[in-house]
Chains A and B, each alone.
Chain A
Amino acid sequence: MNILVCLKQTFDTEEKIVIENGEISEDGVEFVINPYDEYAVEEAIKIKEEQGGEVTVLSVGPSRAESALRTALAMGADKAILVDDESLFGDEYTISKVLAAVAKRDSYDLILGGYMAVDDGSAQVGPRLAEELDIPHISTITGLEVNGDKVKVEKDVEGDTEIIEASMPVLLTAQQGLNEPRYPSLPGIMKAKKKPLERLTAGDIGINPDEIKAKTEVLDQFLPPKKEAGKILEGELDDQVKELVQLLRNEAKVI
């Protein structure tokens, strides 16, 4: 089985976001594998351990993203591809075009990824990639079984569980609850440095960056306004109710 896992390197979820001159500062920030993508990496390695095969991890991002790929290799992935070319960085449209170009160089039975990235939270890249490759996709899975050339997945739907079967090739995106990602073991980390990590640019995958320019534009970035302290009404209950209605009408303007 040939498995491809797409992953993004994101800020550690415990990092405090600092905006400087309209840009998010990366100064002294710890980067991690996007937690949803980490579930995908773990699932791919589990399938490989149980059924054999090869796991390739793929990312589009700056050089620092190498450490996220190395972490995936240390967890047990076999090889990594980093598209490290600034002319190919863009929005979900651009990224899924680039991922598709790389995915087409080989033939994968299963493509996994997180259902969204914790930084921009768009949840678009997985489905877009499946469309580009013209294969089915199932999003936000919380369980996966692979039997022969079929997958059986579980996903949460409004508190119930939906069970879906599909034939491979298929693209699946991971939701929290799919598994508990392992720590990269120390021998795993040592072995990771000897595993292949391929770096690609636009030329290598035959893409003209001008043709896949981002369709969206970031106009401004700002932190949410500080939450103001809540107001606690005091006094007789009747008066509190009157005051509340008045506040809802005149201050909050919700009634």
Chain B
Amino acid sequence: MNFELSDEIQMLKKSVREFVQHEVEPVAMQIEREDRIPDEVIEKSKEMGLFGISIPEEYGGLGINMVGKCAVYEEIGATHNGYTTLLGAHSGIGTVGIVEMGTEAQKQKYLPAMARGEKIGAFALTEPEAGSNAANLKTTAVKRGDKYILNGTKHYITNALVADVFTVMAVTDPDKGAKGITSFIVEKDFPGFKVGKVEPKMGLHGSQSAEIVLEDCEVPVENVLGEEGRGYVNALKILANGRAGLAARNLGSCQKLLDMSVRYAQERVQFGVPIIEHQAVAHMLAEMAVDIEALRSLVYRVAWMVDEGKRVIKEAAMLKLFGSEVYNRVADKAVQIHGGIGYISDYPIERFYRDARITRIYEGTSEIQKNIIASQLNREYSK
């Protein structure tokens, strides 16, 4: 057992922490107001190498293991979640498909530019009729010569406005259900590719989600990602891989909320004493701290399991579920401890509270995670 991060990972963590504090935090309110991440922040993030977190070294990325990635994600999570989501969706679901299932030619073509942030990645699975029931896709892909012709509409696609490279799931054989789905690498400049309506949302400002319309979109056959018919399995793998990173980002947000809440409770005086001396407030802080410490342990344990090549379907689902639920509980208590100021938009607490809510929904709802956990239990106990 060793709970120490290596010197190198600690150095990555420290550098990202300082970068986030000095370059992103000062514009967090601006991001929230303008629903846009300043170009300067994106440029500096590229220089920092933050777009190459999940890309192997030979393709210009960082080449760090999952523990290292989670350490970096934890620090990124401590700031505006819109910024966090842009980077997370790129490095997680936007890139991992090509890293894990791409051919050598595909990796050579896309990954170096993605590692530099010159090309941003996104993942397009969800459709109006295929949310939690992800296999119920209506987007079709028909092979014609050396191309596939894609038709359909994807929605709620994170990074749609800024991304250049999309991992798109489409049905190649409608008779085979989930086994008739194939993944494709689709570039935004391919003929027939259009970004549709941007969906305004409750939180995650700065990270736009939009519709993607594929109208006779031409995708060369060499852009099939993985084997034909393996698209659904690919999608599940990509999502499972993203789960540790997502929970690590939530962990960073939770830690930030705890830091702010403890400091506020030490300073805010009511009934003649700092409110941290009121047991009702003190207990909320204690509960937050316990939740966060448990989440931290689970994040790094699952990350370690991934690095060891262990099977993590159940644990990754537990982590996604726990990380999202903890973030919501912590954000709720942070608002309660801050009182009125926690509800006011001039202060970041209410922003985290709104941003937390989506984590129980996207990349697999909490309920879907419970289904996965239970079905894994059923399997284990049937042996």
Q: Does A193 contact B (CB under 8 A)?
A: yes
Check if B62 sits within 8 Å of A70, measured CB to CB. Answer: no
Residue of A nearest to B9 (CB): A189
**Minimum Cβ distance to chain B for residue A185 (Å):** 5
Check if B62 sits within 8 Å of A187, measured CB to CB. Answer: yes
Check if A186 sits within 8 Å of B7, measured CB to CB. Answer: no
Given contacts A186-B48, A188-B49, contact A193 B15 (CB under 8 A): no
Q: Does A161 contact B (CB under 8 A)?
A: no
User: How many angstroms between the C-alpha atoms of A70 and B16 in the bound complex?
Assistant: 16
Q: Does B111 contact A (CB under 8 A)?
A: no
Given contacts A74-B15, A183-B18, A184-B15, contact A189 B8 (CB under 8 A): yes
Check if B49 sits within 8 Å of A185, measured CB to CB. Answer: yes
Check if A183 sits within 8 Å of B11, measured CB to CB. Answer: no
Given contacts A183-B18, A186-B62, A190-B57, contact A70 B11 (CB under 8 A): yes
By secondary structure, the B interface counts as helix
Q: Does B372 contact A (CB under 8 A)?
A: no
What 1/0 flags go to A37-69 for Cβ under 8 Å of B? 000000000000000000000000000000100
For chain B, residues 1 to 47, give those with C-beta under 8 angstroms from any C-beta of chain A: 7-8, 11-12, 15-16, 18-19, 47
What 1/0 flags go to A172-196 for Cβ under 8 Å of B? 0000000000011111111011000
Given contacts A190-B62, A190-B63, A190-B64, contact A184 B52 (CB under 8 A): no
Q: In the complex, how many residues of chain B place their beta carbon closer than 8 angstroms to a beta carbon of chain A?
A: 19
Q: Does B165 contact A (CB under 8 A)?
A: no
Check if A189 sits within 8 Å of B11, measured CB to CB. Answer: yes
Q: Which residues of A sit under 8 angstroms from B52, Cβ to Cβ?
A: 186-187
Given contacts A190-B57, A190-B62, A190-B63, contact A185 B47 (CB under 8 A): yes
Q: Does A139 contact B (CB under 8 A)?
A: no
User: How many angstroms between the C-alpha atoms of A189 and B5 in the bound complex?
Assistant: 15
What 1/0 flags go to B42-71 for Cβ under 8 Å of A? 000001111011000100001110000000
Q: Does B210 contact A (CB under 8 A)?
A: no
Check if A193 sits within 8 Å of B19, measured CB to CB. Answer: no
Q: Which residues of A sit under 8 angstroms from B57, Cβ to Cβ?
A: 190
Q: Does B276 contact A (CB under 8 A)?
A: no
Check if A186 sits within 8 Å of B15, measured CB to CB. Answer: yes
Check if B8 sits within 8 Å of A193, measured CB to CB. Answer: yes
User: How many angstroms between the C-alpha atoms of A186 and B15 in the bound complex?
Assistant: 8
Q: Does A71 contact B (CB under 8 A)?
A: yes
Residue of B nearest to A191 (CB): B57
Q: Which residues of A sit under 8 angstroms from B72, Cβ to Cβ?
A: 186
What 1/0 flags go to A196-213 for Cβ under 8 Å of B? 000000000000000000
**Minimum Cβ distance to chain B for residue A63 (Å):** 11
**Minimum Cβ distance to chain A for residue B214 (Å):** 34
Check if A183 sits within 8 Å of B15, measured CB to CB. Answer: yes
Check if B16 sits within 8 Å of A186, measured CB to CB. Answer: yes
**Minimum Cβ distance to chain B for residue A55 (Å):** 19
Q: Which residues of A sit under 8 angstroms from B8, Cβ to Cβ?
A: 189-190, 193
**Minimum Cβ distance to chain A for residue B62 (Å):** 5
**Minimum Cβ distance to chain A for residue B77 (Å):** 16
Q: Which residues of B sit under 8 angstroms from A193, Cβ to Cβ?
A: 8
Determine which of B7, B19, B49 lies in contact with A67 in the assembled complex, contact meaning CB atoms within 8 Å.
Answer: B7
Q: Which residues of A sit under 8 angstroms from B62, Cβ to Cβ?
A: 186-187, 190
Q: Which residues of B sit under 8 angstroms from A188, Cβ to Cβ?
A: 49
Check if B18 sits within 8 Å of A186, measured CB to CB. Answer: no
27 A-B Cβ contacts within 8 A? A67-B11, A71-B11, A74-B11, A183-B15, A183-B19, A183-B48, A184-B11, A185-B15, A185-B48, A185-B49, A186-B12, A186-B15, A186-B16, A186-B49, A186-B53, A186-B72, A187-B49, A187-B52, A187-B62, A188-B49, A189-B11, A189-B12, A190-B8, A190-B62, A190-B63, A190-B64, A192-B11
* Given A70-B11, A190-B57, A190-B64, 19 extra CB contacts under 8 A: A67-B7, A70-B7, A71-B11, A183-B15, A183-B48, A184-B11, A184-B15, A185-B49, A186-B16, A186-B50, A186-B53, A186-B72, A187-B52, A187-B62, A188-B49, A189-B11, A189-B12, A190-B8, A190-B63
7 nearest A-B pairs in the assembled complex, by CB-CB distance:
A186-B49, A187-B49, A185-B49, A184-B15, A183-B19, A185-B48, A189-B11
Chain B residues engaging chain A, CB cutoff 8 angstroms: 7-8, 11-12, 15-16, 18-19, 47-50, 52-53, 57, 62-64, 72
